[in-house]
Amino acid sequence: MEGKTILLVEDNPDHQELTRRALAAADIFMFTVILGEGPEALEFLHAEGAWADRDGKRLPALMLLDLKLGASDGVEILRRVRQDARTKMLPVVLLTSSSSQADISRAYAAGANGYVVKPVDFDEYSSALRAIAAFWLDVNVAP
C-alpha cells in the first residue's frame, strides 16, 4: 500500500477523530487526508485553490465520503467528481449513518462504488473500515 492515499470527507470533527482512530485500530496506517467540506475536497482532487501546489495527477486510492456534510450534500459532491474527466473513475465509497432506501438509491444513481452504513459500535466500525481498505486498496484493481 506504499504511496497510496485515502481521502476522507467528513464534517463532524468528532467523527474525523474517530475514523482516524478506527483506521489505526484496523492497522491501516496509510496517509489519510481529512477534509471537512465538500468544495474543499473538490479543490484537493483538482489541485486548485488551497491545494494548487499539489500534484493533480496523483489521485487518492479511495475517497470515503459522508452523505450529509454541513453545507453541501455528499451526493452532489459525488456527482461533480463523476462529471470531471480527471476524477470520474475515482473509487468513491459513501460512509454514512443513513440506512434510508432513498439515500442509498440516490448515491448509487450518482455513481457511488459502495455504500457503507457506519455502525454505532466502534469495534464494528473499525472492522468495517478494515474490510473496505482490504478490498479497495488490496484486492481491487484500480483504473
Interaction of residue 10 with other proteins, rule CB under 8 A? no
38: number of Cβ within 10 Å: 23
Q: Are 28 and 85 in contact (CB under 8 A)?
A: no
Chain residues 114-133 in contact with other proteins, contact rule CB under 8 A: 118-123, 125
Q: Choose between 92 and 107: whose C-beta lies nearer to other proteins.
A: 107
Q: Choose between 87 and 96: whose C-beta lies nearer to other proteins.
A: 96
Q: Are 15 and 70 in contact (CB under 8 A)?
A: no
C-alpha cell of residue 49:
485553490
Alpha-carbon span 130 to 13, nearest angstrom: 21
Interaction of residue 99 with other proteins, rule CB under 8 A? yes
Q: Could you give the 3-state DSSP secondary structure of residue 55?
A: coil
Interaction mask 36-75, other proteins, x per CB under 8 A: -------------------------------xx-------
Interaction of residue 79 with other proteins, rule CB under 8 A? no
